[in-house]
Structure 1
Amino acid sequence: MQLEGKTVLLTGGSAGIGRELARQLKAKGARVIVTGRNRERLDFMRAEGFDARAADLSNAAGVDALVAQIVDEDIDVLINNAGQLVDHDVRKGTPDADAADDCIYANLSAPIRLSTALIERLRSRPEAAIVNVTSGLAIAPAARQPVYCATKAGLRFYTLALREQLKGSTVRVIEALPPVVDTQMNAGNPMKKMPAAECARQIVTAIEQGRYEANIGMTRALRWAESISPALARRITLRF
């Protein structure tokens, strides 16, 4: 895909991987609409020349409000990048069920609802893409993050099925599977982290090259382990 002149809607674009994606897409000549919840971060992105929109994607009303904001935009690329991490470990006590619900909506329901709302608009474009950012943990789960892993696995399977439905159309459905990335969300994670800029670079390259899947960093090794034995892949990740 030639990104120059394309309009990209990028959720979670004011920090972490999303912010780096926005910068790199802009450098390629795309117009990038970023969304986020933090006012200061959104102001920072506006200062860099981005169209930044406030959006709470942890509930249906927030997704619908975003769709209403962009009703007149010709969207060529939707990148479902926004996500939440929730502490859900019964070994530490009783987890917060409401926090789990917010995570499930933001990570799984919101991308589905947003993709559904924009699908006909994307189909009308000569060349379009939906990019769903999942995780290496969509392949095999980590014990300490069951809700996050479940949402990313759900989004992975939604992506695979949606890709089959849109086969032959102008809309390419791409899945990006990052490893642990150096972002605020992973600040407490002791594992080695990939720089957010490098993760974003590999996602942008996958879009440009028209690939269906971007296995990034250590996720490539995990995919290899899964191809040999899903049980082996699970043994690797469940320790964490």
Structure 2
Amino acid sequence: MFTINIKKTLFAFTLLGCMLCMAPYVHAQNDSIPAEEEETELSTGKVPFLRSLSIYADLGKPAASWLDTESKLEGGIQVSLGNGIVAEAAYGQAELRPEQVVENGSYYADGSYLRFGAGYQWIIKETNLIQLMANYGMSTFDDGGSVLIVSEVWDDYTASYSRNDLSATWAEIAMLTETQVIRSVYAGMALRLRYLIDTDDFEGFPVRAIPGYGFAFNTTTPALNIYIRFRLPE
């Protein structure tokens, strides 16, 4: 099992904390609250504690299942409070078969991951909103592969290996934007920047890919997700 890199962890969460601390000050300059919600809040003098509860499904991951290199599924739940704070938890599964990460061989990584975090929400108008999120992810997975060893003296030899119960953790900053499609249904896009905190380390055959994160040899990696969200009636 891996050991947590304290310096990397502190750096990642310091950065995420600064981003969240800035959000309320930006929100203070934003007065674009939908008219109906603004009227309700002014008439009662109170901001509702719970603004919405929603579930979402990532559309891009199953859409890419036709590729031979990956198969993914992800869904989650989000709570939005009246003061603009949002909290989210997500679960996903992935089977990765990246190409060209092993010379003269193949590689796979199969597993599941959890991602949870909090952030701030800006309501632009009744049908549009933007969210800034700081998340923490963790993955458990198995990996393995094969390598063809070519020899000019002896017969070619194929070496294979497999490993179980591997782990990885990362932090990420995400910017989400959503537009209402029909009542209670929103289509959204999430731009994520992930920072790898730690993963299992091996000599000779290092971990190449991490379910939920991406290529393990990249300390930081961007990602783009397309999703559909259903907000429960308020």
TM-score bracket relative to the smaller structure: under 0.3
Q: Which has the higher strand share?
A: 2
Please give the TM-score of this superposition, normalised by the length of structure 1: 0.23
Larger Rg: 2
- TM-score, structure 2 length as denominator? 0.23
Determine which structure has the larger helix proportion and give its number.
Answer: 1
